């Protein structure tokens, strides 16, 4: 059984990595997509907003689908759809083709994100200790690789479709790896799900603090991804070349923080790690807002990577602990707020920057991240008590997670 769990963990880790590559390839080549299809600056925000909105729809649908279809099967087929949709973005010629490809990408990525984290939460329960951050570290590593591949494509002026050809390698790999996905079987599941359905408002009220933390974390993340280069160049007076560095530094420190984060959770507990992460992120935003020059600003973005990196994985893990018998539904609902934060973050900072100042705008995500400290008690390690030496029995549904392609 241990070998089954190890294979399941390795295959899911690769799934996270592949998704990191795919998403980075999409978002870092937006200017090339705009040029290829002739999308105007006025129309571009509508295309960009459609992806997270449809992803939210996909996540909501996943909550219903997992009642009949195991998360492993949903992930097995949604990930190839995401990769093929990305190829479609690169291969199309008309705007309607772009719209269809992005719609498929958005819907499939909602199913993928939800089912992927469902499997991560259930595997963590089977292991009896914190491993969730390691999955998201693989996603960060994939993001770094995807962004690097996108840079190569832009630097050598490669056609968009050629830039997306690494997906051809990932596609068969994820299909083969999906054979070893593991669905956790929890005997309390049906009972807890029935309770949840009878007391829906009460369940959502219990989940609400985690939903807010997820939203605030993604507001912070989207602030860095969308505004770090502009902030460094326009506000702190850096060169155009230097302005590209903060996001790369942010991605690297996010990877490092997640790579060691599980050890911190096991040693100090999830509550302490989340509080520390929120405080470090808040200090990072404060440093960015008050930075006298570009290098101090980059220090702030470095702190942001170290602080924000723990919040999202631990929020999913906390949802699994809070609803041990209905973790799939909890993860699906929580995942929607990933996209809410993504949709709110960039426009919020942009509007505040134009109306007030970009330095002042950086204080808003700082305050929101600090609210996470108030909600940190929601991350308490009960009932599964990850990290305190107590391990639940390792049970896994091998058959449901390993049937054929």
Q: Distance (Å, rounded) from C-alpha 129 to C-alpha 270?
A: 11
Position 394 scores a pLDDT of 44
Whichever domain contains 367, its CATH number is: 1.20.1250.20
Does the structure show a pLDDT above 90 at 294? yes
Q: Distance (Å, rounded) from C-alpha 282 to C-alpha 268?
A: 20
Position 398 scores a pLDDT of 39
Tell me the pTM: 0.89
Task: Tell me the average pLDDT of the chain.
Answer: 88
Q: Distance (Å, rounded) from C-alpha 369 to C-alpha 222?
A: 13
* Weakest mean pLDDT among 96-100, 278-282, 363-367, 375-379: 375-379
* Whole-Å CA distances, 52 to 57, 180, 256, 287: 9, 29, 27, 30
Does the structure show a pLDDT above 90 at 402? no
CA atoms within 13 A on the CB side of 188: 11
Helix spans in 269-403 (H):
270-290, 294-308, 311-322, 327-355, 358-375, 398-401
* pLDDT band at residue 324 using 50, 70 and 90 as cut-offs: confident
Does the structure show a pLDDT above 50 at 67? yes
Position 387 scores a pLDDT of 41
How many whole angstroms from its chain centre is CA 72?
Answer: 18
> Count of residues for the chain?
405
Q: Distance (Å, rounded) from C-alpha 147 to C-alpha 125?
A: 32
- Please state the domain count of the chain: 1
Does the structure show a pLDDT above 90 at 237? yes
**Highest-confidence segment of 30-39, 93-102, 153-162, 374-383:** 93-102
**Domain enclosing residue 162, as ranges:** 2-401
Q: Distance (Å, rounded) from C-alpha 250 to C-alpha 255?
A: 9
* pLDDT band at residue 382 using 50, 70 and 90 as cut-offs: low
Dihedral of the CA atoms 342, 135, 316, 257 (nearest 10)?
-70
* Weakest mean pLDDT among 8-17, 139-148, 208-217, 395-404: 395-404
The tokens for 133 are 């951050």
């Amino acid at each position: 059984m241990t070998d089954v769990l190890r294979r399941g963990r390795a295959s899911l880790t690769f799934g996270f990595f592949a998704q990191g590559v795919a998403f980075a390839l999409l978002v870092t080549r937006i200017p090339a997509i705009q040029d290829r299809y002739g999308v105007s600056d006025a129309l571009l925000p509508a295309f960009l907003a459609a992806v997270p909105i449809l992803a939210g729809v996909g996540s909501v649908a996943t909550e219903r689908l997992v009642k009949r279809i195991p998360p492993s099967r949903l992930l097995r087929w949604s990930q190839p759809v995401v990769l093929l949709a990305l190829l479609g973005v690169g291969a199309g010629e008309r705007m309607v083709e772009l719209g269809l490809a992005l719609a498929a990408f958005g819907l499939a990525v909602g199913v993928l994100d939800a089912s992927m984290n469902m499997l991560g939460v259930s595997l963590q329960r089977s292991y009896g200790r914190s491993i969730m951050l390691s999955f998201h570290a693989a996603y960060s590593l994939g993001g770094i690789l995807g962004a690097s591949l996108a840079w190569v494509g832009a630097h050598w002026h490669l056609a968009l479709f050629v830039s997306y050809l690494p997906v051809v390698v990932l596609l068969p790999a994820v299909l083969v790896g999906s054979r070893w996905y593991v669905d956790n079987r929890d005997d309390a599941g049906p009972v807890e799900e029935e309770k949840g359905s009878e007391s829906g408002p009460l369940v959502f009220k219990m989940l609400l603090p985690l939903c807010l933390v997820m939203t605030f974390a993604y507001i912070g993340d989207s602030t860095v991804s969308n505004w770090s280069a502009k902030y460094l160049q326009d506000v702190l007076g850096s060169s155009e070349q230097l302005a590209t560095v903060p996001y790369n530094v942010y991605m690297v420190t996010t990877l490092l923080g997640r790579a060691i984060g599980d050890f911190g959770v096991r040693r100090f507990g999830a509550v302490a790690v989340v509080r520390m992460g929120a405080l470090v992120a808040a200090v990072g935003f404060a440093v960015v807002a008050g930075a006298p020059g570009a290098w101090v600003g980059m220090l702030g973005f470095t702190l942001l990577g170290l602080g924000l990196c723990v919040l999202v994985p631990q929020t999913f893990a906390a949802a699994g602990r809070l609803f041990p018998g209905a973790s799939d539904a909890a993860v699906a609902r929580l995942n929607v707020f990933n996209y809410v934060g993504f949709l709110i973050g960039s426009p919020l900072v942009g509007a505040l920057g134009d109306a007030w100042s970009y330095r002042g705008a950086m204080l808003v995500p700082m305050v929101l991240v600090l609210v996470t400290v108030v909600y940190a008690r929601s991350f308490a390690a009960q009932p599964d008590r990850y990290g305190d030496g107590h391990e639940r029995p390792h049970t896994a549904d091998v058959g449901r997670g390993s049937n054929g392609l």
